[in-house]
Structures are given as structure tokens and as C-alpha cells.
Structure 1
Amino acid sequence: MHFFYNGVFLIAVLFWGKLENWKEYYSTILFFIACDFFANIITYNNSLWKYQETVFGQEILMNHTIINLLIMFVAYPATIFLFIGYFPSKKWKKIGWILFWVSLYSIVEYINLHFFTLITHHNGWNMAWSVLFNIVMFTSLRIHYRKPLLAWLIAAIWSVIIILYFNIPFTKMK
């Protein structure tokens, strides 16, 4: 199923993505990927969620890390091309666009959690945290596109909040 989801993102970006603007979006794509790498390193021994493959491609998508890399290098760039590429200029439409993407990511996660078991939550993480995370994430992605340093500050603050709230122990890190 992860191949299917990433295939949908790939097809969507090939049809509707503003690929000619890749240099303009490049740093925000890297920001998105870097934040996920950081989250994976910090929570390596204390995961808040784990991806797993249950339907197709279990021989290739055999663990969380491989699935996460697929998502990072297919879904994340596609998301930026579509999210930033079509970001509206009017205030209420901006809010609506962010809420659309928050809803899309949250609904996909809910379906994958409850119907396909492609993701599991751990150590106190739940759908409410995922929705809040998606709000912060999509807001930060937009901010990064215009004001990268502010987005890095938000990411750092959010990371500290997550580490403290979920008691992620530094002593268990490699």
C-alpha cells in the first residue's frame, strides 16, 4: 500500500506539480526531509509511530526505515510541489489550503492506522497529536518557504516540546 500511496503522490506531481520551479522549492523540500530525519534519530529507541507494510511489497518495504525513506524522497517532494506551488494569496484561502493538507495527511493516517495497519502509534502518540503535528508541520513548511530561519526556530521549539512531553530519554540514544 505504501507503493500505492507514493505512486499517487508521484502521479499527482507529474500532472499538476510545478516542476519547473524546483530550485525555488528545493530548500523547503530539504527542510521537510531534514526535520523527519531528525525526528527519526531522536525517537529511534522510543518511537512515537512506526510504518509497516501489510499488503503489497513486503519483501522490499520490510521495515519502518525503508518505508520512511520512500515517503521522504517521493511523497515529501511531491507534497511541497503541490502545497507550495498552488498556495493561494488571500488570507482565508491560505488558511483553507493549510487545513486541506492537514486534513488530507490526517485522513490518510487515520485510514492507515485503523483499516490497513500501515502505521502504528506508540508511547502515548495518538491521532490528536498527529493532527496537531500536521498543523504545525504545514504551517512551518509555508513559513520556511518565505522565512527559513523562523521555520527552523519553530521546528526547534516543537522538537523540545515533543521531547519533553513524551519523555524521550537522551540516555537511550545511540
Structure 2
Amino acid sequence: MDYFHFIIAIVSVIFCYIFGAWQHWEKYYATILFFILGDLIYNIVFSKKLLWKYNSKALNHSLINLLVAFTVYPSTVLVYFAFYPDTLLFRVVYILIWTFAYTIVEYVGLKLKYFEHQYGWNTIATIIFNMGIFIILPLHQIKPPYAWTMSLVGLIFTLKLYEVNVLKLD
């Protein structure tokens, strides 16, 4: 049995317990749900043409995705906001650090064959996507409608760029 996704989930929860703002989870609950729902929307809209997917001998993409959605994403939000800086310069650096961290985890998963890019998705697209996540999460905390609008624009752009026809979903 392969353990990569379980290790990532467990490490995320441990980091959250040690470093996260889990005592104030209610404050970030809406943003946690936003993160999870964004991933759910991706998996539905791109179901016929997943741009990236999880691989495992033990679990299928959907089950791994649920594991990640309910462990990694909440942990990410709680740790991310526990140390979110006040000044613009430090915010830019912070976003870059988180983008790098998420990209490195994915890169390791790619090399170990636990993660797969498809249909032209690549590491550059991942970096841009990850940066978008870490820009939109704090926006969601203060102006949720703007975050939803930016996410919708990003979704439409990605659908067009990768030629995904949402009318052909099951």
C-alpha cells in the first residue's frame, strides 16, 4: 500500500495542531469551506478532463481528493492565517513561500508517480494556480464576493484555455 497522500494529510494536521490558528477555526470556517468547494467545483467541471489528478494503488482520485479536502485544505487555511503578515511586502513574500511549498509537495508527488499532470497542465500552470490560491484566500476572508468573482474568472479562463466543454458533463 502506498502512503504518500496519507503522510501529507497527517503532516498537514500535525502542522495545524502545532502552528495553526485552530483555536479560532470559526473565524476561518467560511474560507475553509470556500477552499474545499473550489476543489469540488474543479472536480465536477473538469471531471471528463482532469488537468491534474491523484494516483494511488490503494485509493482512486476521488477518495484521495476527499482526504486532501478534509485534512490538507483546512490545515492549510488555519496555518496560513496564523502567520499572515500585516505589510504588503511581507504578504508578497509569504504568498511566494506558500506557493513554493505547495509546488514542491506536488513536484515530489509527480516524481513519485502519486500525482499526474494531464492535457497540457504543467508545473508553470501549477505555480500560477497555487499563487492564485494564496492571493484569493485572504481576499475571501475580507471580501468573499470578490474572491468568488476572481475564482469564477479564473475558472472560465481555465475552461477556455484547456478547451473544456462544460455542456458535455454527465
TM range, smaller chain: over 0.9
- Asked whether 1:34 is paired with 2:37, we answer yes
TM-superposed deviation, 1:101: 0.5
Tell me the SS of whatever aligns to 1:50: strand
TM-superposed deviation, 1:111: 1.1
- Asked whether 1:148 is paired with 2:144, we answer yes
Which stretch has the larger CA shift, 76-85 or 45-54?
45-54
- Asked whether 1:112 is paired with 2:109, we answer yes
4+ residue segments displaced more than 3 Å: none
**Match for residue 78 of structure 2?**
81
Which digits, 9 at most, give the CA deviation of each residue in 1:112-168, with x for residues without a partner? 112x11111111111110000011111001110111110000000000000000000
How many residues align? The count is: 167
Task: Indicate the RMSD between aligned Cα atoms, in angstroms.
Answer: 0.9
**Match for residue 165 of structure 1?**
161
- Asked whether 1:67 is paired with 2:70, we answer no
**Match for residue 95 of structure 1?**
92
Structure 2 unmatched ranges of 5 or more: none
Which digits, 9 at most, give the CA deviation of each residue in 1:62-100, with x for residues without a partner? 100000000000000000001112101111111111111
Which digits, 9 at most, give the CA deviation of each residue in 1:28-52, with x for residues without a partner? 0000001000000001011101101
Q: Distance in 2 between matches of 1:74 and 1:50?
A: 17
TM-score by length of 2: 0.95
User: What is the correspondence of 1:125-144 to structure 2 with a 5 Å cutoff?
Assistant: 125-144=121-140
- Amino acid in the other structure paired with 2:31: T
TM-superposed deviation, 1:25: 0.3
Tell me the SS of whatever aligns to 1:168: coil
Tell me the SS of whatever aligns to 1:104: helix
